[in-house]
Each structure stands twice: as C-alpha cells, then as structure tokens.
Structure 1
Amino acid sequence: MIASLAMYDWPQVAAEHDRLWSLIRDALADEGIDAPEALTRNGSLWDIWESPDLLLGQTCGMPYRTRLHGNVTLVGTLDYALPDAPPGYYYSQFITRADEPGEVLDFIDRTLAFNGQDSQSGWAAPQNHVTPLTFKHTRHTGAHRDSAHAVATGRADIAAIDAVTWRLIVTHMPELAAKLRIIGHTDPTPGLPLITAAHRDPAPLARAVTNAVTSLSPSDRDALGLCGLATIAAKAYVSVPTPPPPSQDVPLN
C-alpha cells in the first residue's frame, strides 16, 4: 500500500508530516486497516495517485477534475485555516518583486511564472482570475518555490503562489519572501483533496485523518497550518473552469 502527503511535504516540515502520518496510521489500526509504516516521498505523483495500491494521497484540484475524478475516491480536504476562505478552500497569492509597482492587471502583458500547467493554484487560478484576458507570456518553473525565485531574480514578473506554500516560503525562506510583495489573490477554490484508490471506502480514512489532526500537538498543527478535515463535494472541484494550456511557454534558464 502507498501513502503520500507530498504536496506540502517540504524537508522543513517532514518530521511534522511523519508524526501526522503516524497518528493517521494508528487511527487506521483502530479501524482494522493496515497502513504503510512510512510516507512515500519518491516516484511520480501520477503513478502514486493512479495506483490501485493507494491508501491515502494528496493531489491538486486541477488533476482531480481533469483526470482523476471518477477513477479515485475522494476522502476529504485538509483545512489549512486560510483567512478569507471557507474551510478546506484555498487561493493563490499574486506576487511580484518588492520594488515593482503595479497591481495584477498591470502585469497582463508581462511574464507569468507558473509551476506546472496541471496546477490549479499556479496555472488555472491566475488565468481564471483575469478572464476574459489571459497571461500569454509564461515561464514554466516546475515548483512554486522556483516561480518565486524566478520573479525575485527578474526572470519573470508575476506568479500565483498557493497560499499555503506562500506561508511556508515566508516561514522557511524569509530572505526570498523579503524580495517579493503580494499584489492580490485569486478567488478561493476547493483545496488539495485527499484521495484513495477507487475500490476503497473513504469513511474510515476520513475518520482517521480527523482524529489524527485533532491529536497533533499544538506545535505540529501550527507548523503544518492544519485545523481539521473538511468535506467538499466532488462537483465543487469539477465545476472549476480549466483554462487552455500555455501557448507561449519560455523554458526557464
């Protein structure tokens, strides 16, 4: 079996994620469900998400609605207690350089750094935010952290950073955060869903996650930004618009 909480599992919070998983595993044992000893931290995310051996994984809203929906089972959505968002929802922070003037629409003809074209927060959310306009000049970076670096060093001008990831950047990469400023945020959309293989019952998994988050120490909950598990209907995910893929992507040098 496979378990992965890879989306926010930075090295700086790996120990906290390990303790969260240990509590989930213990709660699953109480449900009579065997679980892996450790989280999987290598290999393709798509291979993990689509594996019939998946016990618990965390994906992104855009992959869920475009490819995984109907092929996996939705368990719930971790609530990271973001301000100005319903439980389990999140948004993207638009960032530019700290000394760069302008608001979001002032950057429409400049270069958007994005982590991946299958990212809700880095690609779909910013494009949906400016519709019917579009960011036509783009730079693919591969990760939100790399998008922030690209903006800070002038290789791009704007990026949309998952608000939970931005919180991690501020906490663990303060020198980078100091070079950037927030110029707005996208509308909230359902956050990163927890999923399991299609044949599994999600109910005991949801109970185990809820119990584990409740049992986390206050310091671990603060480090991860967690406050619970939200229930968000699948239709809320699949109803989010999916913009076209980038057409003028410039490789990041």
Structure 2
Amino acid sequence: MIASLPMYLRPANRAAHHALWHGIRDGLRARDLPAPDDLDEDIDHEASWAHPDLVLGQICNLPYRALFRDRVTPIAAMDYALPGCAAGYYNAVFIVHRDSAISDRIQLRGRRMAANALLSQSGYGAAQQWAADQGRRFAAPLVTGSHAASIKAVATGAADFATIDAQTWWMARQDDPLTGQVKVIGTTPASPCMTLITRKGQDPAPYLAAITAAVGSLPETHRQMLGLRGIIPLSPAAYDLPLPPEPEAVLA
C-alpha cells in the first residue's frame, strides 16, 4: 500500500508534509483503515494514481477528468484560500519576462507557451480554456516537465509566457530567484484544486474525517509552511470541464 502527496512537496516543506501525513495515517488507522508508515516520495505520480493499493493520493483535476475519473475515489479538494478563488478551487498566474512589452493576456495570441505538462490543468489546460473562451490561440507549447522549468523558460527567453499554479507560485516566490525575472499579467479561470483520492470502491467518508482532523491539528508552523486551510468536498459536477485541445490543434 502507498500514500503520496507530491504536488507541492519541496525541501523547505518536507517536514510539514510528513507531519500532515502522520496525522492522516493515525486517523485512518483509528478508523480501521490500513495506512503505510510514511509517504512514498519515489513513485511517479501517475503510477501512484493507478496503484491498486493506493491509500491516499493527490491528483490535478485535468488528469483526473481525462483519465482517472472512473478509476479512483475522490475524497475532497485541497483549499489554500487563494485570491480570487472559491474554497477548494485554484487558478494559475500568467507570467512573462519582466522586460516584456506584453502587459495583458490578450497580447499572448500566437505566443509560445511553456507548459510543465500537457496533462496539467494549471500549466496547460486552464490557459487553453481561457484562450478558447476568448476565441484565441497560442503557438505550439514548449513542454518543460515542471513549473520551475517553465519559470526558467520564461526568465531566459525560451518561451514567451507560462501559467503557474498559484500555490506553486506562492512557494516559488519564497525560494526561486528566477521569479524576480518575470512578472504576472493575469490569472486563468479557477477550477477544482488538487484533489485527494484513494483507490476505487472505497467509502470516502472516513478518509474525509481523518484528513480533516489531521489538517485541523497541524501545528501552526506547519500550517503556515503548507498554506493549507482545509479540504473541501466538491460535487462531481465541479469536474465537468472541457478537455483542452491537443497541441497540434492550438497552433496560432
């Protein structure tokens, strides 16, 4: 059995992540649910979502609705109280080079985007949703592999812009000097935040109770480090969002 919470794990907040998991673990065991001693930090996140013995995972809403909706049990969305977002929702910030003449999202038509992954809502899907709503298209994306690499691509001129998960952006501004080389020019539409899941066929109620209690009992230093305010169960309809187009369909 495995548990993995990889999306916002960084060296600076590792202790807080593990404290959160230990609280969840103890709460699950108190409810007669099996739970591993520690988080698995080595498993690939997509492999964790598909693992037959998944106890707890953390999934972006795009791969959830594109590939995993019928393969896992959703528990609740994480809530970081992000500006402009309802509880349990998040968005992404549009960034361009700090010296760029671009000052508005409308000016991004035909520009090259740095995307951390094509199955990332914050790094690809939300921007494509915004562009479709505006009747606009971007150039083919540069796939970077991570939000940090996307920030670097914009800072160094390898791409014209990127959209960075707002919670990741909050963390990056604390320890990534390259954030000083870029500027924010807007935000994407909001959508369900990182969603906690377990394997298919489970009753989500005891998981929700254990996680809620663990978040509530976190020491304030860990709570501040993670920025986590709570978890919010969302209706299935909250995930009824259109899938982004394939890259070859978004050429300007």
- Superposition TM-score tier, normalisation by shorter sequence: over 0.9
Q: Distance in 1 between matches of 2:236 and 2:14?
A: 29
Structure 1 equivalent of residue 111 of structure 2: 110
Pairing of 1:1-150 with structure 2 (within 5 A)? 1-102=1-102, 103-131=104-132, 132-150=135-153
Amino acid at match of 1:72: V
Q: Report the count of equivalent residues.
A: 247
Q: Hey, what's the Cα distance between the residues in 2 that align with 1:75 and 1:171?
A: 30
Q: Is the 8 A contact 1:18 1:39 kept in 2?
A: yes
**Structure 2: any 5+ residue segments left out of the alignment?**
none
CA-to-partner distance for each residue in 1:51-101, whole Å, 9 max, x for gaps?
110010001100110110011101111111101111110001000111112
3-state SS, counterpart of residue 167 of structure 2: helix
In the superposition, the TM-score normalised over structure 2's length comes to 0.95
Question: What amino acid sits opposite 2:146 in the alignment?
Answer: A
Q: Which runs of 5+ in 1 are unaligned?
A: none
Instruction: Write the deviation string for residues 143-192 of structure 1: whole angstroms up to 9, x where unpaired.
Output: 1110000000010110000001101101121x111111100001111111
Displacement of 1:235 in angstroms is 2.0
How far apart, CA to CA, are the structure 1 residues paired with 2:12 and 2:236? 31
Deviation at 1:248, TM superposition (A): 8.5
Q: How much identity, in percent, do the aligned residues show? A: 40
Offset at residue 196 of structure 1 (A): 0.5
| Aligned-residue CA RMSD (Å) | 1.3
TM-score by length of 1: 0.94
Question: Aligned residue for 1:187?
Answer: 189
Q: Find out whether 1:170 has 2:163 as its counterpart.
A: no
Q: In the aligned structure 2, how far is the partner of 1:151 from the partner of 1:170? A: 15
Amino acid at match of 2:96: T
Provide runs of 4+ in structure 1 moved above 2 Å: none
Give the deviation of 1:44 after TM superposition.
2.2
Do residues 204 (structure 1) and 206 (structure 2) align? yes
